[in-house]
Amino acid sequence: MKNYFIIVLSFFLFISCINYKTMNEPTPPSPIKEEQLLSIHGDDRIDNYFWMRLSDAQKEAKEPDEQTQNVINYLNSENAYLKQKMHHTEGLQDMLFNEIKNRIKKDDSSVPVKINNYYYYTRYEEEKEYPFHCRKHIANNSKEEILLDVSEMAKSHEYYSAVGLSISTNENMLAYAVDTVSRREYTVYIKDLKTGEVLNDKIENTTGQIVWANDNKTFFYSKQDPVTLRSHRIYKHVLGTNQSEDILVYEEKDETFGCYVSKTKSKKYIIIGSYQTLSTEYRYIEADFPDSDFSLIQKREKNLEYSIYHYQDYFYILTNYNAKNFRIMKTLVSKPEKENWIEVIPHQENVLIEGIDIFKDFLVVEERKQGLNNIKIINWLDNSTYYMEFEDPAYYVSTTSNVEFNTDVLRFYYTSMTTPGSVFDFNMTNKNKTLLKQDEILDSSFSIDNYESKRYYAKSRDGKNIPISLVYKKGIEKNTKNPLLLYAYGSYGNSIDPYFSSVRLSLLNRGFVFAIAHVRGGEELGREWYEDGKLLNKKNTFYDFIDCAEFLIKEKYTNPKNLYASGGSAGGLLMGAVINMRPDLWNGVIAAVPFVDVISTMLDESIPLTTGEFDEWGNPKDSIYYDYIKSYSPYDNIESKDYPNLLVTTGFWDSQVQYWEPAKWVAKLREYKTDDNLLLLDCNMEVGHGGASGRFKRFKEVALEYAFLLDLENINK
């Protein structure tokens, strides 16, 4: 009988513990469901969370209406739930934030760039979130001149971005642009550098681009459509006049194109560029004559892309005209149409030409071969050619800040998975290389020699070789048990090159392996690599990522219980697709500002970016593209099944991937998923697509993401 009472008592204590735990376990948000029927091509979709979409007017209203309040309440409930579920990691998050922050040199400065009579540079001071933009005269012992103290300017703002700094030809005026909302709508200001006075000229709702004419009183800028944020108009402003008096010099009326304004390196021409995914078009005037009419270089044609560089009497043209991987042409400025183009460097099947830099005695060509960057130097005088040499198995290199024309010194930036970002000057005549600056890692235990980088090629299901760049701390064994974070982007032809990250050390030092999958949709292996991962080939991006994951498992770097995935924006779409296709392959996934409601967004031409991206994703008003996009769109393919642990991030003011996409996605996943894994939404109510502003604040977001991963691995220190 005594044993019986002990058993009964133990049972009730056990039940009480379960009830107590259940009572104290945070309850996931349960958002309102309002059925919305969406029909096109005879196909019906039901969206229970369509109501989460707010207009900009609703978001900006001082008094929220009922719908707005419901949305805000839901987002706040998700943020509260996140905080509850991750409460036990707050100490770890603080530890991560501090170690990431403490690796960064606080009083750092950039390598000065000589432009005419000044050296320009950016520097930081201890604990300040924002930089000083400065210059010094080239004369010896000249004093520093602070152009902008952005920390002081940002004092009363939660978010602050100052961009587009542009100096007038006489070096007396500074134009700069400010965004305090994180919607990438900028207001342009002009500062008189002689007096320090900010002029009354104030140009609102711009893209932040400013180009001075050579008269020092006229500048050109691009303006956005207030709804779609498409850059569609170029205006001319004269100092001392009101913005209402500005002259419209060009309007891009094709809604699938955007436009911008720039200046040639020679400073002789001002260029207006119109761009679309598959087509470009340029106009020009002489910068000495800002009131003249712009002349067309080569009218737009579908699938014709070209870009313009000026040298002596010629425009040099980088183009895909009869050249998938691009070639270099030249034409007299007086005869710029393509029938006058003369080939300078021919097309190559296995080499993508990405850009050129022109100097008085040298032509520098940036190429990409077998997924890696190369820099080719050509001497104008004797046409001799050579390549710069690099030793890492995977790396990134690019020319940078080469504003001087009459020099034989090329400045370039170099990094690899194990090499911090480094700026070099390279003498193109004698081939001497000088290291000007390497990012300093303030960690006494850090050494490049402590880490190892590898380059692999995974075989895709259709026989392609997919590059993988991988890094880990030496001592890691290939025993299948390592936690591994696999990252990719895979859209718009953007190549994600192997790069060093001091932030990433917080994972590597705790035993993580980090890998980049160079999937189709990027341009790592040339133009074909991009075209094989877009439109009706988009699923190749997702399959490639899955195939890379399975390759790393087969190579015994990890296993599905320790494998993690991460991607942002279009890379967030990749995350959404692969967890629908292979939810069993990942223990955890981070989807940052994810583009996951592809059908609804691409059907709505009032949403920023939509019209300009039909050539990337397809226009779902065409049933062929509708059916294909619907077959992979993450929001439309959620099913009743187990999903991996998931952390989703977004910004309430995001103008590129609107907050409601990830919010709806999380709500629908909560409704359908059959597991008890984590599903967390972090919606920053103050920021947009790029996250928090400031030098250090953004690492709070990284600390949360890393804590999410480490907690799943039971690593708490």
Place of tokens 């004698």: 430
Do residues 668 and 661 lie in contact, with contact meaning Cβ atoms separated by under 8 Å? no
Which residues are CB-contacts of 386 (< 8 A; sequence separation ≥ 6)? 376, 377, 431
Do residues 205 and 185 lie in contact, with contact meaning Cβ atoms separated by under 8 Å? yes
How far is the C-alpha of 231 from the C-alpha of 209, rounded, in Å?
Answer: 10
How far is the C-alpha of 259 from the C-alpha of 231, rounded, in Å?
Answer: 6
3-state secondary structure of 524: coil
Do residues 384 and 364 lie in contact, with contact meaning Cβ atoms separated by under 8 Å? no
Residues facing residue 201 across a β-bridge: none
Task: Report the side by side order of strands in the sheet with 372-379.
Answer: 351-358, 362-369, 372-379, 385-387
Marked catalytic residue, from 47, 357, 654, 711: 654
| 223: nearest Cα among 256, 199, 247, 198 | 247
- The H-or-E segment that residue 571 falls in is helix 570-581
Q: At what angle do helices 66-85 and 660-672 cross, to 10 degrees?
A: 60
Assign 3-class secondary structure to 2-53.
Answer: HHHHHHHHHHHHHHHHHHHHHHHCCCCCCCCCCCEEEEECCEEEEECCHHHC
- Say how far residue 119 (Cα) sits from the centre of its chain: 28
The residue count of the chain comes to: 717
3-state secondary structure of 496: coil
Do residues 645 and 483 lie in contact, with contact meaning Cβ atoms separated by under 8 Å? no
Do residues 611 and 230 lie in contact, with contact meaning Cβ atoms separated by under 8 Å? yes
Token output for 473: 């701390």
Place of tokens 């049972």: 11
Residues facing residue 258 across a β-bridge: 275
| 679: nearest Cα among 646, 711, 708 | 646
| Distance (Å) of CA 682 to CA 100, 539, 633, 651, 686 | 20, 28, 21, 8, 12
Task: Report the side by side order of strands in the sheet with 513-517.
Answer: 451-459, 465-473, 513-517, 484-487, 563-568, 588-592, 645-651, 679-684
3-state secondary structure of 432: coil
| 231: nearest Cα among 205, 211, 210 | 205
Marked catalytic residue, from 279, 453, 569, 655: 569
| Distance (Å) of CA 204 to CA 207, 209, 224 | 9, 12, 10
Q: Is 654 one of the annotated active-site residues of the chain?
A: yes
Which residues are CB-contacts of 74 (< 8 A; sequence separation ≥ 6)? 29, 31, 32, 52, 663, 667
Q: Is 569 one of the annotated active-site residues of the chain?
A: yes
- Report which DSSP code applies to 322: T
Do residues 206 and 225 lie in contact, with contact meaning Cβ atoms separated by under 8 Å? no
Q: At what angle do helices 570-581 and 539-554 cross, to 10 degrees?
A: 70
Q: Is 192 one of the annotated active-site residues of the chain?
A: no
- Residues noted as catalytic: 569, 654, 689
